[in-house]
Amino acid sequence: MPVPIEYYLVLSAFMFITGVAGVLTRRNAIVVFMSVELMLNSANLTLVTFSSYLGNPIGQLFVFFVMTVAAAEAAVGLAIIIALFRNKLTMNIDEINILKW
């Protein structure tokens, strides 16, 4: 019996939640980024799942682009972290609170 689609979707949801919890909880900026990558991957999983179960390659095409964008975003985001680190010498994002009231 093939795997019911709900299992994949629940797994994807679980990974997403894990990523969200990581984003909200961790203080280290790099770990936050990695959590964001986790979230993106969960979305990829959902897309591929549906593409497979529908027999339509468009879902996987979309995953292709998501990966591209994730790569670009990771590069630029890490560059920003490096620049920030040079100025503030900290990687804890709750110390970067200039927009505080």
Partner 1 sequence: MTQYIYLTVLLPFLGFLVNGIFGSRIKNEKVIGIIGSGTIGLSFLIAAGAFIQTLGMPVDDRKTFVTLFNWIKVGGLNVNIAYQVDQLSLVMALIVTGVGFIIHVYSIGYMHGDKSFWRFFSYLNLFIFAMMNLILGDNFVLLFLGWEGVGLCSYLLIGFWYDRKFEKSTTADAAKKAFIVNRIGDFGFLLGMFLIFMTFGSLNFNEVFARAASFNVPVSVFNFIALFLFIGATGKSAQIPLYIWLPDAMAGPTPVSALIHAATMVTAGVYMVARCSIIFASAPSIMILIAIIGALTALFAASIGLVQNDIKKVLAYSTVSQLGYMFLALGVGAFTAGIFHVMTHAFFKALLFLGAGSVIHSMHDEQDIQHYGGLKKYMPRTAMTFLIAALAISGIPPLSGFFSKDDILWYAFANGSFLLWLIGAVTALLTAFYMFRLYFLTFEGKERFGHDKHPHESPGLMTIPLMVLAVLSAVGGFIGIPALFSGEGGNRFENWLEPVFKSANFKTAGYGIYSSFDEIALMLVTVIGAGLAIYFARYVYLRNPQFAVNTSKRFKGLYNLLLNKYFVDEFYDAAVVNPILKTSDNFLWRIADVKIIDGVVNGTASLIELISGRIRKMQTGVTQVYAVVMMLGIVIALFWVILSL
Partner 2 sequence: MRETRDSSVAALPTQNRIIMSIELILFIIFGLVAAVSGILMITRANPVMSALFLIVNFGSLAGLYILLNAQFIAVAEVIVYAGAIMVLFLFVIMLLRPEHEKLAFKIPGIKAFSIVIAFLVFFQLAYVIFFAHPGLSLKPDVAASIKAGTVETIGRELFTNYVLPFEAAGYLLLAATIGAVVLAKKKFD
Where in 31-90 is the site for partner 1 (CB under 8 A)? Answer: 32
Distance (Å, rounded) from C-alpha 24 to C-alpha 12? 18
Using the minimum distance from each CB to partner 1, give the nearer residue, 89 or 94. 94
Q: What are phi and psi of 35, to 5 degrees?
A: -65, -40
Distance (Å, rounded) from C-alpha 51 to C-alpha 100? 44
Q: In angstroms, what is the minimal distance from the CB of 101 to partner 1?
A: 4
Q: Which of residues 14-73 bind partner 2 (CB under 8 A)?
A: 14-22, 24-28, 30-31, 33-35, 37-38, 41, 44-45, 48-58, 60-61, 63-65, 67-73
| 8 Å CB contact between 26 and 32 | yes
Asked if 2 touches partner 2 (CB under 8 A), the answer is: yes
Distance (Å, rounded) from C-alpha 99 to C-alpha 93? 12
End-to-end CA distance of the chain: 58
Using the minimum distance from each CB to partner 1, give the nearer residue, 9 or 51. 9
Q: Which residues bind partner 1 (CB under 8 A)?
A: 20, 23-25, 32, 93-94, 96-101
